Each structure stands twice: as C-alpha cells, then as structure tokens.
C-alpha cells in the first residue's frame, strides 16, 4: 500500500517526530511504501518538503497544504493519507475527500479543544474545551483577538474531523476529550509505542555516569521544563530526600521556560552537588539516561495524553513514580506507583521506599517491562493495520 504521512514540524522537533519515524520504518518493513510531507527531512524516509505554515492564516494554510497533498497523492498513487499533527490534519482530510481515498487522523494532544493544546486556565485548573467567554480569562487583551480567531477555526474543524474515516488517539483521556467536542465516529485508542530494543543492553553507561558525576542511586526527570510537566513539583519533596541521602543524584534532562527557576531552586536548597542538569539531549542519548537511572519521575500536573517517558522507562525495566492525571489512568491497575501529583507527602514516601529497597525497584521495573511489551511498534502497527482494513471495508459499502 502507498501511504502519505503529513507532519509540519519535521524530525528534530520533539519525541512525536521520533515516534512517527519509527512508525514509518515498521510500515516499510512490512512492505508498505511511505512518503512523508514535512518541513524537514526524515533521514532515510522519502520526504517531500513543504513550507513551514504554522504562523500562516488558517485559510492560506489549508489552501496551500490541500493543494500540496493533492499533488502528492497523484504523484505517488497514494492509497491512504494519515495526518500526524494539528497543522496538517484539516488539509489532509480535505485532500483525501477530493481524491476519494481514506484518511486516518492521529491525535496526540488536545489541539482540537484548546488554542494552546492544554485545556489549562491561567490558575492551572482544567476545562473541558474552550469557548469565547472562557477564553477571556485565559488570554490577555492584546492576544484575545488572535486566540479567538484560532478557537473559532478549531471549533469549525470538529465536524470535519468527526467525519474523517478513522481517528487514533493515545489514551482514553484524549478519547473522552474528543467526545466532549462531538468527535465520536470511529475513534480508536492505541497507546504510543517505542522501539523497545533501543533501551536494552545500552553501551557507554559507565562513561555517562563519570561524565555527569552521578552517585550510587540516580533519580531522573526527562521532559520539557514547563509547569504542566511538573518539573517544579519535584522541588517540593526532592531537596529533603537529597539532604538525608548523600548517595543519591537527581538528574534533570531537558530545558524550557522554567530552566532559570530550576537553577534558582537548586541553589536555594543547597543541593548543587547532587543535582545534574544535562540540558536537552539528542534522542540517541536518551536510552543512556534510563540505563543509568534507578527511579524515573513523571509528576505532570495536566491531563497528559500519554507521556513517552513512561513507555521508555518501562522498556528499560526501570520503576517510575507517575502522576495519575490523563493517559496514565489507563495503566493504573498495571503499574505500582501512579499517584496524585499534588500529594507531596506520598511522592516523598514512594521515592524514599524505592531508594531504600533495591528488591522493590527491581520488581517494579520487571513488572513495568512486562506491561510495556504491547507497546512495541510491532504491536502498534498490528493495531493500525486492522484500522486500515476496516477503513477500506467501510469505503466499499
């Protein structure tokens, strides 16, 4: 089958693009021919470059991308188009309709419900989805016209997205949010995936430990330094743990707007010698971060669709302490430490227990690895191919 992927950002932007690349590689191993339309190349994957249109007005963006995708469908005799992000989704659906081929929409966040994709108000409380009145409390006077323009175009897309042949979302939390926007037709939950083998038998572990002067036990956070990711939440319990456990290092991998706040909190708590700030690392270095770690922290404060760090830590057989909000709810009965991100005393208790009990760390990591077996790209693409078959069957009716 000839498949056209659409993604505006391109490889190098974030973890989603890495997932897209590995997803395509698995499809190609199965004999599918894949082309991706993107603003940047995807290594050895056939890439058709498109302009970066994120800041374009919606009508110009849709007109340009629809025309571009239609040309590519004709050029490569495309059988199916699959959109991978909010920027290209509407145009992909319109191009598929014009060319009478099915379209599969992948949804990884809440872009369909909020101009900022988070559904978070300034006080960090969550909303179901945006509206013109609610937006006034979330936006400044000078940004309101732009945010309102974005919101109206997002809402306009609901019926179009609902009528797309199929949707794939990463968790039941995203599916529930879609339903509240009236998007219910053929919505499938398929948790994200990783190439699990990349996190096994990782080389260079001792060199990495020496480079960052890591101590006997390493507790790690990997992600963007945004409030929503809970990076500041860590400092509500980790300074006390570090002060009374000199053999423990806290490794923070990433960067973002709160980097300065993180540096300040490290200094204020006097824990500079036990905290390692690596900055943002290339994806091929991330398996090393898990390999040297003993405990992973995922204290996100928003309804995270499904953080890839949970999958990656599990693939590396490492235990995680995870916020119960959003996508992780789907795994609450399968993982040991999924708890309320605001319960600081419980986070401290869970982390201390894992620090003090090596056998508990190993058992929890082994359990996590067993649970993540279904999140390999082999299993993921098996599920996607079943959706493909159903889409084509429905088109014949």
Summarize pLDDT for 350-378 with one digit per residue, the tens: 999 999 999 999 999 998 888 777 778 88
Q: What is the pLDDT of residue 347?
A: 96
Section 213-239 average pLDDT: 94
Q: What is the pLDDT of residue 334?
A: 66
Of residues 227 and 159, more confidently modeled? 159
At residue 124, does pLDDT exceed 80? no
* Domain co-membership, 61 together with 108: yes
The answer on pLDDT for 327 being more than 60 is: yes
Residues 268, 380, single domain; the answer is no
**Can you tell me which residue has the tokens 């081929």?**
101
The domain tally of the chain equals 2
Rg of the chain over all Cα atoms, to the nearest angstrom? 22
Percent of the chain predicted with pLDDT > 70? 98
Residues 380 and 364 in one domain: no
Tokens of 160: 């179009």
In a domain, 353, yes or no: yes
Q: What is the mean pLDDT of residues 174-197?
A: 91
CA–chain centroid gap for 90, Å, is 20
Average pLDDT over residues 367-392: 88
384 has a pLDDT exceeding 70: yes
Q: Which pLDDT band holds residue 211 (cuts at 50, 70, 90)? A: very high
How far is residue 62 from each of residues 152, 247, 387, measured CA to CA in Å? 15, 55, 26
Query: Could you tell me if residue 152 is inside a domain?
Result: no
Count Cα atoms within 13 angstroms, Cβ side, for 246.
Answer: 0
Per-residue model confidence as pLDDT tens digits over 149-169? 999 999 999 999 999 999 999
| CATH for 234 | 3.40.50.2000
- Token look-up 């067993």 returns 370
Considering the domain architecture, whether residues 52 and 184 belong to the same structural domain is answered as: yes
pLDDT-derived band at 14, boundaries 50, 70, 90? low
Residue 137 lies in a domain: no
pLDDT at 204 (0 to 100): 93
What pLDDT is stored for residue 298 in this prediction?
94
Structural domain boundaries, residue 27: 2-112+157-193+376-396
- Is residue 3 helix, strand or coil? strand
Would you say residue 139 lies in a domain? no
CA dihedral 293, 297, 303, 308 (to 10 degrees): 0
340 and 392 belong to one structural domain? no
Tell me, yes or no, whether 144 lies in a domain.
no
pLDDT at 336 over 80: no
Question: Is pLDDT at 13 greater than 60 in this prediction?
Answer: no
Predicted confidence at residue 12, as pLDDT, reads: 63
Structure tokens, 182: 């009236």
| 173 shares a domain with 247 | no
- Report H helices in the chain: 15-29, 58-75, 86-99, 132-138, 144-156, 158-162, 172-179, 205-211, 238-243, 259-268, 286-292, 308-315, 344-356, 358-371, 377-396
Please determine, for residue 282, whether its predicted confidence score (pLDDT) is greater than 90: no
Residues 211 and 290 occupy one common structural domain: yes
> Which of the 8 DSSP states describes residue 129?
S
188-202, 259-273, 324-338, 376-390: range with highest mean pLDDT:
259-273
Q: Please tell me whether residues 226 and 80 are part of one structural domain.
A: no
Regarding whether 206 and 177 lie in a shared domain, the answer is no
pTM of this structure: 0.85
Output the pLDDT for position 330. Answer: 76
Residues 228 and 369 reside in one and the same domain: yes
Is 185 among the domain residues? yes
Query: For the ranges 168-172, 318-322, 329-333, 335-339, which has the lowest average pLDDT?
Result: 329-333
- 325/225: higher pLDDT: 225
Q: Is residue 117 part of a domain?
A: no
Mean pLDDT of 227-243: 94
What are the beta bridge partners of residue 194?
376
Residue 132's pLDDT is 82
**Would you place residue 329 in the very low, low, confident or very high pLDDT band (cuts 50, 70, 90)?**
confident
Average pLDDT rounded to a whole number, residues 50-65: 95
For residues 216 and 97, membership in a common domain is answered with: no
Using the predicted structure, report yes or no on whether residue 130 has a pLDDT greater than 90: no
Pairing mode of beta strands 33-38, 46-49: parallel
Q: Which of 27-36, 111-120, 230-239 has the lowest mean pLDDT?
A: 111-120
Does residue 292 belong to any structural domain of this protein?
Answer: yes
- The answer on 226 and 162 residing in a single domain is no
* 2-6, 62-66, 124-128, 214-218: least confidently modelled range: 124-128
- Band the pLDDT of 141: cuts 50, 70, 90: confident
Confidence of residue 112 (pLDDT cuts 50, 70, 90): very high
Q: Which of 127, 230, 181 is nearest to 138 (CA)?
A: 127
């Amino acid at each position: 089958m000839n498949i056209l992927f659409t993604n505006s950002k391109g490889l190098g932007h974030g973890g989603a693009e890495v997932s897209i690349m590995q997803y395509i590689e698995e499809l190609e191993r199965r004999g599918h021919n894949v082309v991706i339309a993107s603003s940047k190349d995807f290594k050895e994957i056939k890439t058709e470059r498109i302009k970066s249109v994120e800041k374009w007005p919606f009508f110009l963006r849709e007109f340009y991308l629809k025309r571009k995708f239609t040309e590519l469908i004709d050029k490569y005799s495309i059988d199916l188009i699959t959109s991978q992000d909010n920027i290209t989704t509407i145009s992909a659906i319109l191009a598929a309709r014009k060319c009478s081929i099915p379209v599969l929409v992948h949804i990884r966040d809440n872009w369909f419900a909020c101009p900022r994709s988070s559904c978070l108000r300034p006080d960090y409380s969550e909303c179901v989805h945006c509206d013109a009145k609610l937006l006034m409390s979330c936006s400044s006077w000078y940004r309101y016209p732009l945010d309102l323009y974005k919101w109206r175009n997002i809402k306009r897309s609901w019926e179009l997205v609902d009528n797309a042949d199929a949707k794939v979302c990463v968790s039941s939390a995203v599916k529930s949010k879609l339903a509240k926007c009236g998007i219910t037709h053929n919505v499938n939950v398929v948790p994200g995936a990783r190439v699990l083998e990349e996190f096994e038998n990782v080389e260079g572990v001792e060199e990495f430990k020496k480079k960052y002067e890591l101590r006997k036990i390493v507790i790690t956070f990997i992600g963007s330094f945004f409030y929503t990711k809970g990076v500041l939440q860590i400092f509500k319990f980790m300074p006390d743990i570090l002060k009374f456990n000199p053999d423990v290092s806290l490794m923070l991998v990433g960067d973002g707007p709160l980097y300065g706040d993180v540096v300040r909190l490290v200094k204020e708590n006097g824990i500079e010698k036990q905290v390692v700030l690596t900055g943002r690392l290339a994806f091929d270095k991330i398996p090393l971060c898990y390999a040297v770690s003993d405990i992973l922290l995922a204290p996100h404060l928003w309804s995270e669709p499904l953080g890839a760090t949970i999958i990656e830590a599990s693939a590396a057989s490492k235990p995680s302490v995870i916020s119960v909000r959003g996508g992780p709810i789907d795994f609450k009965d399968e993982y040991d430490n999924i708890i309320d991100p605001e319960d600081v005393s419980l986070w401290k208790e869970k982390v201390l227990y894992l620090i003090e009990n090596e056998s508990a760390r190993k058992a929890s990591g082994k359990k996590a690895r067993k649970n993540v077996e279904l999140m390999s790209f082999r299993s993921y693409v098996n599920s996607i191919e079943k959706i493909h078959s159903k889409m084509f069957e429905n088109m014949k009716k």
